[in-house]
Amino acid sequence: MIPSEDQKKQVQDQILQAETTILKTTGFALSMETAYRYVDRYCKLLYPSHPPLKQVAMAVCNDQFFTYASLLFKNQSIALACIIFAAMRENQQLPYEAGFKFPADKKAEDGQSQDKRAWYLRIDEQIDVGEVTETLNLIEEYYNWL
């Protein structure tokens, strides 16, 4: 059955009332953490001598809001996906490629890193590599759509 115009108007009014109640309850103070601070932090960790990469990663971070990634995934994972995408665009070595050296690594006497964790966990324990992959796919789809 197709709803009448009166029924549509009634549902619309109920939605507006619910939205107003939510805004009043929260004191109209809605804020959310974004991935920007993680982009900044991870760029300093991974690419300290390449400031243009940070600018590209920040632009990608802006653009990811045109996808639904920020609704589904942790900011840490989104930030890393933005940096990886920027590094690919800037033709920089990627953190998961063989031979990538973490600038802050402390070397043991044999020249090997003392940190044996997975590359993404060395950046932040909160990163989910599956979320990074999904975010990269969404970002790539968005840029291909443009």
Q: How would you class 25 by CB atoms within 10 Å of its CB: exposed for 0-12, middle for 13-18, buried for 19 or more?
A: exposed
Q: List, for residues 2-50, the tens digit of each pLDDT value.
A: 889 999 999 999 999 998 998 888 787 777 789 999 999 999 999 998 9
Q: How far is CA 67 from the centre of its chain?
A: 11
Tell me the pLDDT band of 109, cut-offs 50, 70 and 90: low
Check if the beta carbon of residue 77 is closer than 8 Å to that of residue 61. no
Q: Check residue 3 and give its pLDDT.
A: 85
Q: pLDDT tens digit string along 56-98?
A: 999 999 999 999 999 899 999 999 999 999 999 999 999 888 7
pTM reported for the whole predicted model: 0.76
